[in-house]
Structure 1
């Protein structure tokens, strides 16, 4: 039987997953929000359907998807896929949902794993936990295994500290005790495909690399790779009043994310176990000169 993966949301992570699945022999299709992007995806050999989260998909056009993954963030009224695509979801043999490690809330730099109780405080993380529960309820009712992939900060080609340094927007903010976990987009794809190809207990999986670190260290390493001067540290008390509410919210929480479960249960070997390997590979593959 042909394995058919349907991805709700062919964005940064969804498209990386689609490309890897296609390379591994899966029939892949998914959704995007504009006709222009649908044309670009078609040129790449990826079938896509328009879905803006406000109406149901044209179900016959989605084919007989055996596996369905959602990367779409919840909206003001909840999870759009559960709200508008439930009949499609209930026909799958496997469901996957990309969530966030933000559901653990602030841990003052402490470690969290999948057994850590969810304690979100930011509105977007509260909405993600509600979306997780909506997916869990649907999967339980339909009797379908569901994997929830909880992601920290995502980076990759075109979206990393290297791009910030090149654009002249990188800052090194000194907030003592502040740590972030992160994950290269290629390792998100690798983890999802590992779950699709290996028998395992369905559940929540943290998809993070091995080295939580302050953003200031990541920016310094990106500058070194590009041969740029490392910006001075800016004290948090000095920069915090000038930051947008969204930017400030990213520094409102600090935690380290354990990734043991993806290694033990899914056999994942991270391609980029720390930001150092990830940024080095991105810099080596980018022919554009730094400005």
Structure 2
């Protein structure tokens, strides 16, 4: 199976999906805000479109040719940026799309003091960004005829987004907040789950994307340091640690996210079911790249 995917806000997760689809014969169009990133996309075999901005003839053609739509751009206080610019065009093509996917966040569930949540849990976000996401999900769900699937992503890590650089540099800190726990997902597993959904569309479905092992953040840093045979990063109490407002906001919510639906409905077997599996892979890739350079 192949098709033409239009990726709105073609970022880290979307690029991982493209690496799976392009060898299967897919045509990928991706929007980006930056000319530098557009050049990177072109090198990866993706047709880039600078956007938001003017709706060029090339982007109009991509909209008309798309069989699949992926939305990765994050919302802001005014709502979803892609719908702000393209609502009429997307509404027009919605009924003939085979699949559409919106990348949301598990932040929509809010704080559960370390308790478990699943896709049926009420949406009670406590952060500003979480509330924006709930509103954006509803905006996309309201488009008539759009075969929408919502993917709620836990904390994303993968190549270039792991803890090793900070641990090596000595800038990592183990922020200790009793009871704090996060769920995570390796970017390669995100791509595999999206590909599984594309192969088995179920419009209206909502999926949590996370691994099997929610864990305190300090445990991940501890394991990273052990893999590198380096000293443990210093421990700091959350209450007194110096942190940016953005960093502190991540600790406002604590929950464990269930992922049964991706396994039962999409038949997904995670490649990296725990952060230990994922970190071992990242380190192995780093060592291979170093050896090959």
CA distance, structure 2, for counterparts of residue 121 and residue 238 of structure 1: 22
The answer to whether the 8 A contact 2:8-2:71 is kept is yes
* Number of the residue aligned with 1:116: 121
Structure 2 match to 1:248 = 248
Q: CA deviation at 1:19?
A: 1.5
Q: Matched residues in 1 for 2:191 and 2:89: separation?
A: 23
Does the alignment pair 1:153 with 2:155? yes
| 2:86 aligned residue | 85
Q: Which residue of 2 aligns with 1:30?
A: 30
Cα RMSD after superposing both structures: 1.7
- Cα deviation for residue 243 of structure 1 reads 1.6
User: Residue by residue, what CA displacement relative to the aligned partner does 1:113-151 show, whole Å, maximum 9, x if unpaired?
Assistant: 00000001100110011000000001xx2x122100001
Q: How many residue pairs end up in the alignment?
A: 283
CA distance in 1, matches of 2:132, 2:39: 32
* Secondary structure, aligned partner of 2:137: helix
Residue 69 (structure 1) aligns with: 70
1:202-246: CA deviation from partner (whole Å, max 9, x where unpaired): 32110000000001000001001111111242222331xx22211
1:188 deviates by 0.7
Q: Which runs of 5+ in 2 are unaligned?
A: none
Partner residue in 2 for 1:100: 105
Rounded Cα–Cα distance in structure 1 between residues aligned with 2:244 and 2:84: 32
1:2 deviates by 5.3
- Further displaced range: 129-138 or 43-52: 43-52
What's 1:195 paired with? 197
- 2:238 paired residue number: 236
**Counterparts of 2:8 and 2:253, CA distance in 1:** 29
Taking the aligned partners of 1:192 and 1:150, their CA distance within structure 2 comes to: 11
2:149, 2:202 within 8 Å by CA — same for their partners in 1? no
- For structure 1, which runs of at least 5 residues remain unmatched after alignment? none
Report the TM-score when normalising by structure 1. Answer: 0.92
Is 1:131 the counterpart of 2:113? The answer is no
Secondary structure of the corresponding residue to residue 240 of structure 2: helix
Residues 76, 231 of structure 1: CA spacing in aligned structure 2 closer, same or farther, 3 A cutoff? Answer: same
State the match for 1:3 in structure 2: 3
Give the TM-score taking structure 2 as reference length. Answer: 0.91
Instruction: Encode CA deviations 1:265-288: one digit per residue, 9 max, x unaligned.
Output: 111111100100101000011037
- Contact 1:68 1:89 survives alignment (8 Å): no
Is the 1:200–1:266 contact (alpha carbons within 8 Å) kept by the matching residues of 2? no
Distance 1:2 1:262 in 2: 22
Give the 3-state SS of the residue equivalent to 1:116 in structure 2. coil
Q: Do 1:6 and 1:69's aligned partners in 2 also have CA atoms closer than 8 Å? A: yes
